[in-house]
Structure 1
Amino acid sequence: MTIPPRIPVTETQIDRVISQFYAQVRADPSIGPVFQAHVSDWPTHEKKIGRFWRNALLLQRCYDGNPMQAHLAAGNVKSQHFPVWLSLFDAVLEQELPQPLAQSWSALAHRIGRGLRYGLPEDGAGSTPYLGNA
């Protein structure tokens, strides 16, 4: 029996969103340097994040990372980076997908972002979430 996807996007749409998003990230003056500090092989990173979203959206069992652990370990991401990350991600979703799909994926991304933030120190004194190597 096949499990229906959480959000009916295609793998091609996921790949396009990821590619466009990371192009925006690399150009962004506030979060670009955060990602650049950790990502040296962008194609490999994008494939990994693509697997994350295939798992989250299509319910494929193809992702083996631990986003919370990766975010805790990075140490250079601050709370103020999340609104920038989500704003860029939302803009790419709106550009690449029909509105209902973009809204559904955006809502899930915002829930995931909140979950990561809740698991991290609030005072900014310790490690903070890293949005790249999830």
Structure 2
Amino acid sequence: MTHPATDTPPNPLRKFDITGDEIDRVVGVFYARIRTHPTLGPVFAAHIGDWPSHEAKIAGFWRNAILREGSYNGNPMRVHVSTPEIQASHFPMWLDLFCEVLNAELPAEIAVRWDALARRIGEGFRMGVVSMRQPKDAPPTLF
């Protein structure tokens, strides 16, 4: 069976049926919304000077996570932990906004599956931010 948008066989390792173009579109719409978000917009704007390059990099992240393209090279955990303006409280806002975009841009089944993946990844980043920033002798934060 071929994928209708590309007329090539889908990668059997992909997590769900979506095209690279659809991923690119979702990422673009999401970052357009981020730029106007009252809390998240300023955090992103302080660190992203070239939005098209950032969007391409993040689209590569999602293409790798979903389509297994090997199209991303980076360490997103290190970036999130080492950026003090990024707070654990930002992740639920980020994920809720991302979910809104997914639901607006994609069929429901694909939106639900991508949202579940994003929430697992986002929770990992949130936990990394919390644990890496706490004092070394402090007990772990389990929230």
Provide the TM-score with structure 1 as the length reference: 0.87
Consecutive unaligned residues in structure 2, runs of 5 or more: 1-10, 136-143
The one-character-per-residue Cα deviations of 1:75-98 (angstroms, maximum 9, x if unpaired) are: 101122111101110000000100
Q: Which residue of 30, 50, 62 corresponds with 1:53?
A: 62
Question: For residue 96 of structure 1, what is the aligned residue in structure 2?
Answer: 105
- Structure 2 partner of 1:18: 27
Q: Which runs of 4+ in 1 moved over 4 A?
A: 122-126
User: Identity rate of aligned residues, in percent?
Assistant: 46
What are the superposed Cα offsets for residues 38-69 of structure 1, whole Å, 9 maximum, x if unpaired? 00100000000000000000011111010111
Residue number in structure 1 paired with 2:93: 84
Aligned alpha-carbon RMSD (Å): 1.7
Q: TM-score, normalised by structure 2?
A: 0.82
Task: Check the 8 A contact 1:3/1:59 in 2, yes or no.
Answer: no
CA contact (8 A) 2:102 2:111 kept: yes
Largest Rg, 1 or 2 = 2
Q: Which protein has greater RCO, CA pairs closer than 8 Å, 6+ apart?
A: 1
Q: Number of matched residues?
A: 125
